[in-house]
Amino acid sequence: MFEKLKALEERYEEINNKLMEPDVVNDQALYTSLMKEYKSITPIIEKFREYKKAKESFDEAVELLDAGGLDKEFKEMVQLQYDESKEQEEALTEELKILLLPKDPNDDKNVIVEIRGGAGGEEASLFANSLYRMYTMYAERNGWSIEVINANETELGGFKEISFSIQGEGAYSRLKYESGVHRVQRVPETESQGRVHTSTVTVAVLPEADDVEFEINESTDLKIDVFRASGAGGQHINKTESAVRITYLPTGLVVECQDERSQHKNKERALKVLRSKLYEEQQRAQENEIAAVRRSQVGTGDRSERIRTYNFPEGRVSDHRIGLTIYRLEQFLNGNMDEVIDALATADQAAKLAMQESEN
């Protein structure tokens, strides 16, 4: 591990020097690429330098204690230095192990989120709207921007389905744990007897695919249909055929976009969703080739897996993957999600670290 860290530090200094060279500064593509690498290495190098200081302090204490001949007061000071630096060195070693775990290549990407009402009819559609609101509020907290791609509203203000993109640094790294089945337990407004109903909503979080990652031949691979966009109750929300439906002929995958008034913009957004779905399918196929024992215990969640329950009578949110329950339902639905997402990320890292150590 430390040989790898030394090599990374050398690379860090090399990039630092290159970033000051006029030829590099004037080459926008090269400069951007180096800055991205520099930024990704920086947290590791900063932690490694903390470790080296702690180790230096520890080695100094060991040398003084081994030499002997210290008066009582000075020996106590050196012993304290020994204990503190040893504890710090051990803690920093564990942090470095986590920082050196292979990074998910999608972590820095924007995301496309799809929310669909599942079991529970109108109540599921209403909760789909609640989850959409939760994710938009979380995005706002992080300074991310949101664009609705496609929405199928119900007359009572819910969503049968809604898809939207979130653009911002680290969006996928935080939201990737949201894929799966979300269960809600509450008394619906239409329930006269006050009985608690259970409904489900499915969430899919896709990393936004770059054009270069998945080639699509529009002339042979796609069937593109245009139609009038419609809103809740079937009322037309515009009189022109601006909505776009794209069918990927090799697999029959269909995506729609009708949120924009412009047919061109709707087509552009629909293609973005299509690329991301095809990219995700390609990734899933690759992951399925990996032995089950090597998969993360948390991962990004399967769409058919029940991952979380929102219980309104008890005011609790329970994440079933890591056995975590918090009693701050209202705050969580208002976008205050970091406590649960941090716990999921930590559990994911611990699982990956355990796998790495078992393989070594």
Burial of residue 212 (number of CB atoms within 10 Å: 0-12, 13-18, 19+): exposed
Q: Using one digit for the tens of pLDDT, what is the confidence trace for 8-44?
A: 899 999 999 999 999 999 998 899 889 988 988 898 9
* Domain at 87, CATH number: 1.20.58
Asked whether residue 242 falls in the same domain as residue 125, the answer is: yes
pLDDT tens column, 128-180: 999 999 999 999 999 999 989 888 888 888 999 999 999 998 899 999 999 99
Structural domains counted in the chain: 2
Q: 340 and 257 share a domain?
A: yes
Order of all β-strands in the sheet with 243-248: 222-227, 243-248, 253-257
Per the domain annotation, does 333 fall within a domain? yes
Own/partner contacts of 326-332, CB < 8 Å, gap of 24 or more, are: 332/134
Q: Structural domain of residue 265, as residue ranges?
A: 111-290+298-350
Would you say residue 355 lies in a domain?
no
Considering the domain boundaries, does residue 246 fall inside one?
yes
Q: Kindly state whether residue 194 falls inside one of the protein's structural domains.
A: yes
Residue that is last in its domain, among 99, 129, 155: 99
Q: Region 61-68: what's the mean pLDDT? A: 88
Last residue of a domain, one of 99, 132, 150: 99
182 half-sphere exposure, CB direction, 13 A CA radius: 26
With respect to residue 356, please indicate whether it lies within any of the assigned structural domains. Answer: no
Q: What is the pTM of this model?
A: 0.67
